[in-house]
Amino acid sequence: MNTLWERYNMKSTEPSRYTISPYLVFVLILTMQFGPEYITMSNKPIQLAGQDAWISVILCGISFHIVIWVMYRILDRNGTDLIHIHERFFGKWAGGALNLIFIAYFLLHACFQMRLFIEIIQVWLFPDLETWALALALLLLVYYIVAGGFRVIVGICMFSLLRYFALFTLIFTAEYFHFSNLSPVMDHSLHEIIKASKQFTFPYLGVETLLFCYTFIKTPKKSQKWTHLSNVVITVFYLMIVSVSLLLFKPEQLSTEMWEQLTKNKFVHFPFIERFEYIGAASQILWVIPVICFCLWASSRMVKLMFTVKQLTVLPILLMVVFAAVCLIQGRSRMDAIQTMLSEFGFYMIYGYIPFLYIVDVVRMKARRSI
């Protein structure tokens, strides 16, 4: 039995021209985890844990390392992605139903990301912009990328690394840092800090993408260290972002801000750009597009495998569903509702469902061995 798993682990099940090198998993997971949610992430935890919010970032990062480890145990043992694992574990019908839930999750996630970007553009740049016009333009771009296949999506992730230049502008805010905001350390109870950590799961989400693209990695087993590295880098970035929020604002001030990360752009001033927030807001596209592309790729692939249709025939239908949904989401309160829904789902998926799968896997193995 063991040799069979090892044979699975050695090579991907996909044709090698569709696969990516293990180190590219770093780029992929980094882009998926570091989604546009980061622009609002420091507000709620800081309301809960105040100056200790940075501890919550680290706690959440550590917990994600454990989740990544668990995910690799499941995937390595079965040697295939979650779509097949579902069917293997729960049978065709229950497994299919679980896959449907993930399709809905990815589509809703794509809608949320797209609507968030359009909302930012509407609030910061063009208040009179029609939602559908920008959604149409973006979805055309998404179709173009996703139709190119998984490797093109990873290429777009690579391209989107350019966005980290925008983060360097945080240095401009240093003039207004108040270091007394960081002390006293550990003034909040452990309960509050853990509650704040729970708020951070949403921005950390994105490692679950690995469950769906596992078979597209050339030597999947070798990619684990890259996923862990990506999580470390994310933790450092998030630590930086949350610390700047703490140093720059009072918690009372933050509670009135909608997107505090974009407000930080208001401190940036170049001789040739009076208002950097225009670039800051527009550059969110580099955060949004790769995530939307992956979501649509994953959901269309799941539909393809479940109903044995061509991926390229499913894709336009899913794009139209996303387009309609994006046009229907109006206003901040709906967005908030969707965000809580997604973060709740993500939280239970990461800390409930993935460990559950692991236990099922272990039990299955034990049961087989005893036979």
Interaction site with other proteins (CB under 8 A): 123-124, 126, 128-129, 133, 136-137, 140, 143-144, 176, 178, 180-184, 187, 249-250, 252-253, 256, 263, 266-267, 269, 275, 277
The least distance separating other proteins from the CB of residue 166, rounded to whole angstroms, comes to 17
CB nearer to other proteins: give 123 or 233: 123
The least distance separating other proteins from the CB of residue 143, rounded to whole angstroms, comes to 7
- For 31, 96, 123, 353, the CA distances from 345, given in Å and listed in that order, are 20, 18, 28, 10
**Structural contact between residues 196 and 45, judged by C-beta atoms closer than 8 angstroms:** yes
Cα separation, 192 vs 106, in Å, equals: 30
The least distance separating other proteins from the CB of residue 133, rounded to whole angstroms, comes to 6
CB nearer to other proteins: give 267 or 351: 267
> Tokens 């999506």 label which residue?
153
The least distance separating other proteins from the CB of residue 302, rounded to whole angstroms, comes to 23
The least distance separating other proteins from the CB of residue 274, rounded to whole angstroms, comes to 8
Neighbours of 22 (CB within 10 A): 18
Q: Which of 80, 26, 338, 13 is nearest to 207 (CA)?
A: 26
Structure-token pair, residue 337 = 């509702």
The least distance separating other proteins from the CB of residue 59, rounded to whole angstroms, comes to 21
The least distance separating other proteins from the CB of residue 210, rounded to whole angstroms, comes to 31
CB within 8 Å of 133: residues ≥ 6 apart: none
DSSP tag of 125 = T
Helix axes 131-147, 150-159, angle to 10 degrees: 120
CB nearer to other proteins: give 15 or 127: 127
Structure-token pair, residue 170 = 């945080």
Structure-token pair, residue 67 = 């989740």
Cα separation, 212 vs 289, in Å, equals: 18
Structure-token pair, residue 77 = 């043992």
CB nearer to other proteins: give 90 or 267: 267
**Structural contact between residues 124 and 297, judged by C-beta atoms closer than 8 angstroms:** no
CB nearer to other proteins: give 10 or 137: 137
Cα separation, 238 vs 230, in Å, equals: 12
CB nearer to other proteins: give 21 or 189: 189
CB nearer to other proteins: give 18 or 126: 126
